[in-house]
Amino acid sequence: MIKLHIKSIILLFVLYKLIKPQIKNNILVRHHQYQYFIKIINNKTVTNCNNVPPEHSCVPLKPRNWGTYVVAPSYKMNACAIGKNFSTMLIAMICYLFNSKKFKNSKHLFAHERWKKRSCIKKNEGNTFEKISKKFNTPDGNITKFINNWNHLVIIRHPIERFISGFVHFCVKQPKKTKNKSDCYECYDDIVCFVEKLYDDIQTTVATNKWASLHLMNHFYPQSWMCQFSEYYNKYKIIKYSSEKEGTKQFYKEMTNYLKDINIPENKIEFIKKQFLIKKVPHSTIDSKERNIYMKKLEESDYIKDMLTRIYYSDFIMFNFEFPELKHYEDSIRVYSNPQNITTSISNINNTIT
C-alpha cells in the first residue's frame, strides 16, 4: 500500500514537471484539450470561424454607438481616436489645428500630451456624430451636412500589434504600485490569462450588453466596434498605422498626403511632421525588450494566436488584415478543418461595410 502511494506521488510529480514548462512559457497553458478549427488561405493554415461550436465561436460585430471624436472646425475635420492607434499624437494634432496659436504658445510637444491633462480637453470633443454636428457644424445641427461635407479620419492598427502594445504598456511595463488590478483582469503579466479573460469578457458583452470599463474597451475591444462604423464606415478616410519601421514611414507619408488633400496649410503640415518625428510618447512600447519577449511568446503559441483571431475576427474582416498563420497546432490537440452540423455563430460583417 505504501509502495503504491509512493508511486502515485512520483507519477504526479512527473506530470507536474511535464506541464510546468507550458505554464511558464505561456504556450498551450491550459491543461484541458483545446480544439482548433482551421482553414487554408493562400497555402497558410489559419483560424476558421464558420460552423464552430459556441465555446469556440469568434466574436461577432457588436457596434458601440459612440466614439472618441476630436474636431478642427476650420478645416471641417473630424477624427475618431482609438486607444493604442497613435491616439495621443492624433488628439494633439487635431488640438493644434483647432487652435494653432494657443497650442504653439503653450510650447507643448504632441508626444507630451496626457489624456487627463490634454490641451483641448472638452473644447473640441464629443462622443457621437450627432453631438459633434450640433456643437460644431451648423446652428441646426444638420447631421446630413456634417456627414457629407466634413472630412472624417480614423487610424487603424493590425489587431495583434495593437493588442501587444496595450498588453505590454498596461500589464507588463506599468509599475505594480501604480497598476490598477482591473486594467489587466488581475492577470498581471500572464498573457494567456489575460487573453482568456478578455475573450470571456467580450463574449459576455455580446450576450448581455454589459460593457467593460472604459479603459478596457478603448484599448482592447475590437476596433470595428468603435467610431460608429456600422453607420459611417464609408464616410471615413482610413489610414493604417504600424510601429514597424517601414509601416511607420508609409503611415507618415499617407497622413501628410491626406492633410494636403483636405487643404491644411503647408506651414501647419510642416509643424505637424516635425512633431511626429521629435519624440515618441513616453508609454510607447516600440523597440522595448518586453515587447520583443511577448511577440516571441505569441509567435510560438498557436493557442494565443487562435484566441486573438477569435477575439478580433471582425477587425480582420472589416479592415482587410491577414489572419495570423498557425504553425504548431498539429503538435497539440484535436484539429477540425471541416466541422459539420454545428450552428454558425458569426454575423455577416460584410453587410456592414458594403
Angle between helices 302-311 and 191-208 (to 10 degrees): 20
159 contact partners, CB below 8 Å, separation of at least 6: 222, 223, 308, 311, 312, 315, 316, 321
Neighbours of 245 (CB within 10 A): 10
| pLDDT tens per residue across span 260-293 | 999 999 999 999 999 998 866 554 556 678 899 9
**Domain annotation covers residue 260:** yes
pLDDT per residue as tens, the chain (354 positions):
555 555 554 444 433 433 333 333 333 334 335 778 888 899 999 999 988 888 889 999 998 888 999 999 999 999 999 999 999 999 999 999 999 998 988 878 887 787 777 889 889 999 999 999 999 976 677 899 999 999 999 999 999 999 999 999 999 987 665 566 678 999 999 999 999 999 999 999 999 998 888 889 999 999 999 999 999 999 999 999 998 889 999 999 999 999 999 999 999 999 999 999 886 655 455 667 889 999 999 999 999 999 999 999 999 999 999 999 999 876 544 445 544 433 333 334 555 555
Q: Which of 342, 62, 82 is nearest to 202 (CA)?
A: 62
The C-alpha cell that represents 234 in the structure block:
464609408
Rounded Cα–Cα distance for residues 50 and 164 (Å): 26
**Domain annotation covers residue 325:** no
**Domain annotation covers residue 289:** no
SS3 of residue 38 by DSSP: strand
Rounded Cα–Cα distance for residues 240 and 227 (Å): 15
| pLDDT tens per residue across span 159-186 | 999 999 999 999 998 766 556 667 899 9
Q: Which residues span the domain enclosing 154?
A: 69-195+202-278
| In the block, residue with C-alpha cell 512600447 | 285
Q: What is the CA radius of gyration of the chain?
A: 23
Q: Is the dihedral of CA 131, 135, 137, 143 positive or negative?
A: positive
What integer pLDDT is reported at residue 21 of this predicted model?
35
Q: Which of 257, 260, 281, 236 is nearest to 87 (CA)?
A: 281
Total count of domains within the chain? 1
**Domain annotation covers residue 141:** yes
The C-alpha cell that represents 235 in the structure block:
464616410
Q: Which of 132, 88, 125 is nearest to 110 (CA)?
A: 88
**Domain annotation covers residue 38:** no
**Domain annotation covers residue 127:** yes
Which residue type sits at 116?
Answer: K
**Domain annotation covers residue 305:** no
Strand partners, 155: 239
End-to-end Cα distance, the chain: 71
Would you give the DSSP letter of residue 289? H
218 contact partners, CB below 8 Å, separation of at least 6: 68, 82, 83
**Domain annotation covers residue 130:** yes
